[in-house]
Amino acid sequence: MYSIVIDENRLADIDRFIQAHQSDLVRDISRLVSIPSVEGPAAPGAPFGVESRRALDCALDIAAELGLAVCNCENKIGYASVGEDRGAGYLATITHVDVVPAGEGWTADPFTLRERDGYLIGRGVMDDKGPSVLCLYALKYLLDSGLTLRYPVRALLGANEETGMLDIEHYLKNYPAPLFCFSPDADFPLIHGEKGIYHGRLISRHTPVNVLEISGGVAANAVPAKAVAKVRAEKLRSTGSVHAVELEPGFWQLTAAGISGHASMPQGTVNAIALIVDYLLENEIPSDEELPYFRFISLLHASADGSGIGLRSSDDCFTPLTAVGGKISVENGRIIQTIDCRYGISISGEAITKILKEKAGDAADVLVDADNAPFYVGLDNPAVQACIESYNLVTGEHAVPMTIGGGTYARHFSNAVAFGPEHPERPCPEFCGPIHGVDEAARLSDFLEALKIYIVSLLRLETLDF
């Protein structure tokens, strides 16, 4: 029988490993953060843009320097691996090296890693470049330990998580799936269920009259920090949330500042587009032709729980539905407002579309860009147990797995969970921002603890029969 004893000696050995590699680990995170790997136009050898490709190369370089075997899967995704293939399948972690755009309001260059009071700050440091480096060092531990692995382990490194997950689609189409996979791209303790994710566009049918331009947001899955509009009006006043400037007689520029954050966790955010839309309606700026559309999207912006637009729903497995209008723009004279909706099992994507179309009436067309059903793995799954027990062993907590509204890589696999490394319950200083927000930050001591959790988890997973 295959066994690995996880006793005091083993834990002390892991601690020594982590301590010895701490500064290298931070250096490697900074190497990855320095690449602005936002999706760009496809180029030869770079299906998701040259910066995503550079980040993938950088991560594989780091892995190779650690002595791990590496494989670039057609520049869409890559992996580092440890252990021999024994024909019994393999275990995996999956993270990503692409990021969302930096957005406005950073206190320093987002792509230069900063260290302050034990925190690391930079775009992607938490989502998901730091965790990518943690996985590589977890494999490095397995390599250095000299243990004979029952299952080889791959650290998958995606290059397109933020804008479509075509990386993992490509991988699962062309490579065998892992026996079990955990994805350090979310919160601890462990996520065994993910809400359905619905992305759509609400497209105006009217011709612009008084609202000539409107734009805001950087991504459909982020609450926007900034929105602007150019409107025709006689006289406008600035308010606490919207700044009005007369550009030329009868033409005004409106600017609103909100608080950004991830669309799946809208609590505490302020949607800048919502501020502009409210201002337009309160000041009666839209013409009769424009009014139905702005009234319609104001229902979406009224509340992030979807109650304004009739989408409110909840169930026993998941937290209540969220609905966020993350991005607005004008294309070919039509206003396009995105909608990001995270839903549980008491409503479906079809039902969401039906409700939106009813509310839109003749004012807008409703286009569905993506709809992924909710994902759920049972708590009695031995691999889920191995991971949560490892988490509790290392932290001394008695945590239980949970479900979330975010979509992680896990939903693409039949046997997978999302597993840290964020601790939203641990308070952060004011200079720390959230994932997808400004001044994205991670606590270094949390990362080191997470590395230990991942190493212990992989050791335990090695002992399971799949």
Contact residues for Zn ion (CB under 5 A)? 127-128, 185
185 or 194: CB nearest Zn ion? 185
Tell me the closest approach of the beta carbon of residue 218 to Zn ion, in angstroms. Answer: 15
Tell me the closest approach of the beta carbon of residue 406 to Zn ion, in angstroms. Answer: 8
97 or 335: CB nearest Zn ion? 97
Tell me the closest approach of the beta carbon of residue 79 to Zn ion, in angstroms. Answer: 17
Tell me the closest approach of the beta carbon of residue 278 to Zn ion, in angstroms. Answer: 31
At residue 377's C-alpha, the angle toward residues 347 and 193, to 5°, is 50
Q: How does 425-463 read in b/e, with b if 16+ C-beta sit within 10 Å?
A: eeeeeeebbbbbbbbbbbbbebbbbbbbbbbbbbbbbbb
74: left (phi over 0), alpha (psi -120 to 50) or beta: left
Break the chain down into helix, strand, coil percent, rounded to 5. 30, 25, 45
Tell me the closest approach of the beta carbon of residue 324 to Zn ion, in angstroms. Answer: 17
126 or 202: CB nearest Zn ion? 126
Tell me the closest approach of the beta carbon of residue 127 to Zn ion, in angstroms. Answer: 4
98 or 449: CB nearest Zn ion? 98
d(CA 366, CA 78): 36
Tell me the closest approach of the beta carbon of residue 96 to Zn ion, in angstroms. Answer: 6
DSSP 145-214: HTPPPSS-EEEEEES-TTTT-HHHHHHHHHSPPPSEEEE-SEESS-EEEE-EEEEEEEEE-SPPSSEEEE
Residue pair 92/155 in contact (Cβ under 8 Å)? The answer is yes
Q: What is the DSSP letter of 270?
A: B
126 or 228: CB nearest Zn ion? 126
Tell me the closest approach of the beta carbon of residue 185 to Zn ion, in angstroms. Answer: 4
d(CA 401, CA 34): 34
185 or 187: CB nearest Zn ion? 185
Tell me the closest approach of the beta carbon of residue 462 to Zn ion, in angstroms. Answer: 26
128 or 422: CB nearest Zn ion? 128
161 or 290: CB nearest Zn ion? 161
d(CA 122, CA 106): 9
d(CA 442, CA 124): 10
For residue 159, give the nearest of 40, 65, 67 by alpha carbon: 40
Task: Report strand pairing: 91-96 vs 180-183.
Answer: parallel
Q: What is the DSSP letter of 250?
A: T
Strands (E), 217-333: 222-223, 226-232, 242-248, 251-257, 261-262, 322-324, 328-331
- The tokens describing 125, both together, are 């440091």
152 or 437: CB nearest Zn ion? 437
Tell me the closest approach of the beta carbon of residue 31 to Zn ion, in angstroms. Answer: 18
d(CA 404, CA 388): 16
95 or 390: CB nearest Zn ion? 95
Residue pair 194/403 in contact (Cβ under 8 Å)? The answer is yes
